[in-house]
């Protein structure tokens, strides 16, 4: 592709040359941000072609390796240079993504998602993944990189499950065997490092205990303003030193696993949901086995993303509602937010003190601290329709976005949240 064909980038560059961001309104700034995205994508596409050409020259003995050129003349970090090499490999297998990147239809982060998902696939499975190029490009053009990366991961997982000769329970056994603990001291700073590499279930167990302690510490801290990173460190230490329970007789937080009813009944399919609350895949055979254990709360989701059944250890309505919300929402309901569900508040859309809103599931939505503040103190308005579509309106009355909030689906695709207006 000739550099002269990048008309979209040419227009964006021309607009940026004369842009005076300091005097722009919100829509003007948004236009500048969009122009920056187009130019950045265009530059990333050129970098991929530069990496490819340098690799060809290196094979002829007329250049250093592309990684060396990108870190030297390009002043990139080694990590960035390595990422450019991986994007080049992605574009070799799926050329339409390189054209889409040049045109600004996708970003380098979308290509990184493809690289991460295919990095450990064998040759035949990677070819099967690449055969889905058209559908993947359609997804990438309408989804944010985080949602697209989940889709890529789920597709790779489905292909591995189809081709694997071993059962998925063997997969968990292999993950457990690879689990390890490493501890070392940084000789320059004297800081101690502890590294845990765990299978998904044991990792979820540890983090449930840590988050349980973190919630207690936040209540104990009140308004003293202890930095968040220090609260997390204290939570880890207290979770380990108290065995995760805190006080004698205190209930240890349970593990919640989510599975769609088709998978639970018939087995894995292209849109399988079989994961922890945070979206970490778990072998189906393990979920089926753990459904009988009281410490594990299974939630079955239906074809239309709704929570159908919550596990038997439900104690109160509030706990059941929170589990049902977690089955539908991985993150904060704000369209630009990726804060995990565990770190969100459960917000009453129709508030009790203002609207007489009830504590019913169709009136509850997860919202992080920042966006909870926008609704309560920032003058923003949040409405939710019966299908859990939300409408976010700025204080000036302008509709910021309207779209679905559910980001955990049973058809393998994450609904595209409406772009901010």
Chain position carrying tokens 């939570």? 235
CA dist 383 and 392 (Å) reads 7
pLDDT digits (tens, 9 = 90+) for 38-81: 999 999 999 999 999 999 999 998 999 998 999 888 788 888 89
Cβ distance 403 to 144 under 8 Å?
no
pLDDT band at 414 (very low <50, low <70, confident <90, very high): very low
| Cα 327 to chain centroid, rounded | 15
pLDDT band at 306 (very low <50, low <70, confident <90, very high): low
Structure tokens at 378: 């920032």
Does pLDDT of 421 surpass 60? Answer: no
Per-residue confidence (pLDDT) for residue 47, from 0 to 100: 95
Q: What element of type H or E holds 182?
A: strand 180-185
Per-residue confidence (pLDDT) for residue 290, from 0 to 100: 60
pLDDT digits (tens, 9 = 90+) for 327-361: 888 889 998 888 888 888 888 887 643 454 566 77
Beta bridge partners, 276, equal 257
Per-residue confidence (pLDDT) for residue 1, from 0 to 100: 39
Cβ neighbourhood burial of 266 (10 Å; 0-12, 13-18, 19+) = exposed
Per-residue confidence (pLDDT) for residue 4, from 0 to 100: 39
CA dist 87 and 47 (Å) reads 10
Residue 421: count other Cβ atoms within 10 Å of its Cβ.
Answer: 12
pLDDT digits (tens, 9 = 90+) for 162-175: 776 455 666 677 77
Give the rounded percent of residues in the chain with a pLDDT score beyond 90: 31
Closest Cα to residue 413, out of 275, 270, 311? Answer: 270
Per-residue confidence (pLDDT) for residue 318, from 0 to 100: 63
DSSP state, 254?
Answer: P
DSSP-assigned letters across all residues of 362-397: GGEEEE-HHHHHHHHTS--EEEE-TTSEEEEE-TTS
More confident residue, 91 or 261: 91
pLDDT band at 314 (very low <50, low <70, confident <90, very high): very low
Of 131-140, 179-188, 240-249, the least confident = 240-249
Structure tokens at 161: 């499950």
CA dist 195 and 203 (Å) reads 12
pLDDT digits (tens, 9 = 90+) for 372-391: 888 877 788 999 888 888 99
Alpha-helix runs per DSSP H in 94-196: 96-102, 108-118, 123-130, 133-142, 145-163, 168-178
Cβ distance 346 to 322 under 8 Å?
yes
pLDDT band at 177 (very low <50, low <70, confident <90, very high): confident
Does pLDDT of 242 surpass 80? Answer: no
Structure tokens at 97: 């993504």
Cβ distance 294 to 313 under 8 Å?
yes
Cβ distance 145 to 109 under 8 Å?
yes
Per-residue confidence (pLDDT) for residue 266, from 0 to 100: 77
Cβ distance 405 to 384 under 8 Å?
yes
Biggest CA pair distance of the chain: 75
Of 10-24, 79-93, 276-290, 398-412, the least confident = 276-290
Give the rounded percent of residues in the chain with a pLDDT score beyond 70: 79
Per-residue confidence (pLDDT) for residue 101, from 0 to 100: 96
Per-residue confidence (pLDDT) for residue 305, from 0 to 100: 60
CA dist 238 and 219 (Å) reads 15
**Arithmetic mean of pLDDT, 35-39:** 95
CA dist 281 and 276 (Å) reads 7
Closest Cα to residue 181, out of 166, 168, 193? Answer: 193
Does pLDDT of 257 surpass 90? Answer: no
Mean pLDDT of the chain: 81
φ/ψ (deg, to 5) at 339: -65, 130
At 345 the three-state DSSP class reads strand
- As a whole number of Å, the end-to-end CA separation of the chain is 33
pLDDT band at 126 (very low <50, low <70, confident <90, very high): very high
| Domain locations along the chain | 3-163, 178-241, 255-404
Nearest-10 crossing angle of helices 123-130, 78-93: 70
Instruction: Specify the pTM.
Output: 0.65
């Amino acid at each position: 592709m000739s550099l002269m064909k990048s008309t979209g980038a040419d227009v964006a560059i021309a607009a940026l040359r004369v842009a005076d961001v300091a005097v722009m309104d919100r829509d003007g700034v948004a236009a500048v941000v969009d122009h920056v995205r187009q130019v950045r994508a265009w530059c990333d596409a050129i970098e991929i072609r530069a990496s490819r050409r340098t690799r060809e020259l290196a094979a002829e003995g007329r250049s250093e390796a592309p990684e060396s050129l990108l870190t030297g003349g390009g002043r990139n970090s080694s990590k960035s240079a390595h990422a450019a090499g991986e994007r080049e490999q992605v574009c070799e297998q799926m050329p339409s993504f390189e054209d889409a990147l040049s045109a600004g239809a996708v970003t380098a982060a979308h290509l990184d998602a493809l690289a991460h998902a295919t990095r450990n696939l064998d040759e035949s499975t990677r070819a099967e993944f690449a055969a889905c190029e058209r559908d993947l490009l359609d997804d990438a053009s309408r989804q944010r990189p985080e949602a697209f990366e989940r889709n890529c991961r789920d597709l790779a997982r489905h292909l591995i499950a189809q081709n694997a000769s071993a059962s998925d329970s063997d997969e968990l056994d292999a993950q457990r065997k690879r689990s390890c603990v490493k501890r070392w001291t940084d000789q320059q700073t004297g800081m101690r490092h502890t590294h845990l590499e765990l299978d998904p279930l044991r990792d979820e167990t540890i983090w449930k205990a840590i988050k349980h302690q973190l919630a207690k510490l936040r209540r104990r801290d009140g308004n003293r303003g202890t930095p968040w990173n220090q609260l997390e460190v204290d939570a880890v230490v207290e979770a380990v030193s108290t065995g995760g329970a805190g006080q004698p007789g205190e209930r240890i937080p349970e593990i919640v696993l989510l599975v769609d009813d088709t998978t639970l009944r018939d087995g894995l399919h292209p849109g399988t949901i079989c994961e922890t609350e945070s979206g970490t895949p778990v072998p189906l055979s393990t979920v089926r086995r753990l459904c009988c254990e009281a410490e594990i709360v299974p939630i079955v989701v239906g074809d239309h993303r709704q929570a159908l059944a919550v596990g038997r250890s439900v104690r109160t309505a509030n706990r059941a509602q929170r589990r049902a919300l977690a089955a539908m929402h991985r993150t904060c309901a704000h369209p630009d937010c990726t804060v995990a569900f565990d770190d969100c508040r459960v917000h009453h859309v129709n508030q009790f003190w203002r609207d007489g809103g009830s504590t019913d599931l169709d009136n509850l939505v997860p919202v992080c601290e920042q966006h909870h503040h926008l609704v309560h103190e920032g003058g923003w308005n949040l409405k939710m329709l019966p299908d859990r579509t939300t409408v976010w309106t700025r204080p000036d009355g302008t509709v910021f976005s309207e779209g679905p909030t559910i980001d955990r689906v049973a058809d393998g695709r994450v609904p595209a949240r409406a772009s901010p207006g």
